[in-house]
Amino acid sequence: MNNKKLHCFAGKRWSGDATSALNSALSSGGIVLTEGGEEIEQRLRRSGIEDVRRLNMSGLFGSLNLSRILRLTMPDEVFVYSSEVLSKLSQALSLAKMPQVKIIDKSMEFCLPDVEPIETGGESLIWIGYITKDCGLRSLLEAMKEIPEPRLKVVGVGEAKIVSPLLKLSKSPELNGRIEWVGEKDDVFAEMKGCKVGIITSANPQNKMIYHEFRKANLPVICAETSEQLKQEISCYYE
């Protein structure tokens, strides 16, 4: 009897995680579990995935939600394509009392599309990601208040209660007119065109898909967490 497989990836947009999950599910079969919306679900179904489930795997109830889907689907193996799902999944297996399920970590096997190096040289920084309380975007905005030159393109969405204070901050006198909020975009490489530097608000970016997408596009990358670190790194590009 064939093993039952579950393929999980996080994130609200189509990325290399989604591509990896799609390719693996097409070759080995199984259910695809995504945090994405209806557009991503339909894209998976059009590509040949018959069983797609949408689930919030983030936040306080992420592990509980995962435990419920585990009990419902009863997989033998769970393939994980996003590092942020791993800790949640371990907790979920414990909650579901399913220690026999095998976790296969594919989060460091990045599947990136073939893209030409983008045209850089503009004056805008670019930040791409899902906007959460701890995503570091506030630190970036605070750093930019002290550097008058750069503009910033923000590609991503989040809960209104998280985004609203950041929107308010971006309209402060020091930042007003310099921050471009473009929302969620499937083609992040198109958004990188004409930008000067990609920003990752983390000191350990290697496990983040966007780091590898920036590198694939040959876009310089700044990786820092605090406002002071970000200010110092960004200033080097505008001296």
- DSSP structure string for 171-196: TSTTTTTTEEEEE--S-HHHHHTTEE
pLDDT of residue 38: 87
DSSP state of 206: G
Structure tokens at 27: 């070759």
Which has the closest alpha carbon to 85: 62, 110, 67, 108? 62
Strand 124-128 to 151-155 pairing: parallel
Q: What is the pLDDT of residues 188-238, one digit of tens each?
A: 888 999 999 999 998 778 767 788 888 888 899 999 999 999 999 999 988
CA distance 38 to 131: 19
pLDDT band at 113 (very low <50, low <70, confident <90, very high): low
| pLDDT digit string, tens, across residues 124-156 | 999 998 888 889 999 999 999 999 889 999 998
Q: Do the domains 5-105 and 124-238 sit in the same CATH topology, yes or no?
A: yes
Residue 33 phi, psi (nearest 5): -110, 125
Across the range 164-178, mean pLDDT stands at 95
For residue 120, CA distances in Å to 53, 106, 156, 180 come to 38, 31, 21, 17
Measure the CA–CA gap between 119 and 54, rounded to whole angstroms: 36
Q: What is the mean pLDDT of residues 105-113?
A: 74
pTM over 0.75: no
Structural domain spans, the chain: 5-105, 124-238
Q: Quote the CA–CA distance of 100 and 77 in Å, as a whole number.
A: 9
Predicted confidence band of residue 1 (pLDDT cuts 50, 70, 90): very low
First-to-last C-alpha distance (Å) of the chain: 64
57 or 169: which carries more pLDDT confidence? Answer: 169
- Between 49 and 10, where is the model more confident? 49
DSSP category for residue 236: G
CATH number, domain 124-238, options 3.40.50.880, 3.40.50.2000, 1.10.10.10, 3.40.640.10:
3.40.50.2000
Task: Report the alpha-carbon distance of residue 124 to residue 53 in Å, rounded.
Answer: 37
Q: What is the helix (H) or strand (E) element at residue 49, kind and residue range? A: none
Q: For 137, which DSSP code?
A: H
- Assign domain 5-105 one CATH number from 3.40.1190.20, 3.50.50.60, 3.30.565.10, 3.40.50.2000: 3.40.50.2000
pLDDT confidence bin for 106, thresholds 50/70/90: confident
Residue with tokens 């609203």: 164
Q: Look over the chain and give the mean of its residue pLDDT values, rounded to a whole number.
A: 88
| Tens of pLDDT, residues 67-88 | 999 999 999 999 998 888 888 8
The CA dihedral of 206, 167, 13, 149, to the nearest 10 degrees, is -50
